Amino acid sequence: MQIDVEREGDVVVLCPVGDMDVTTLPDFEARLDTLAEEGVRAILWDLNGVGILPSTALGFLLNARRRMGSVGGHMALARANRLVSSTLGTMGVIDVFPVFESREDGLRHLEAKLAT
């Protein structure tokens, strides 16, 4: 599992490549802790490189969103493939997270949230 980190203004874009599963989630948690310590308040998960999203990964994302929200931060998801999008819909995550088809729309959404 590879996690590319990019910065777009005040938004950090996390780009996981591979499967988000129980063996890779500790890496994501450590990355999020570091970003929170750096004062990051907006994270866009670019899921284009993720093949599947098991329930453990969904739980992780929901917990990460809750943690970001507790410090006034925001998270969004973008560019999920058809299978991941279906999983997000079936598990009700779309009702909790802003989900965007394009990275640009996700970035605009988060930048607007930071501006308010």
Question: For the segment 57-101, what is each residue's pLDDT rounded down to a tens digit?
Answer: 888 899 999 989 988 999 999 999 999 999 899 988 888 889 999
Name all domains of the chain by residue range, CATH numbers in brackets. 2-115 (3.30.750.24)
**For 8-55, how does the pLDDT look when each residue is reduced to its tens digit (9 = 90+)?**
999 999 999 888 878 888 888 888 889 988 999 999 999 999 988 888
Residue in the structure block whose two tokens are 């058809």: 82
Tokens for 56?
A: 């453990």
Terminal-to-terminal C-alpha distance of the chain: 35
SS3 89: helix
CA distances to 4, 50, 65, 76, 94 from 87, in Å = 23, 12, 17, 16, 9
Q: Tell me if the pTM is above 0.85.
A: yes
C-alpha to C-alpha distance for 7 and 33, rounded to whole angstroms? 16
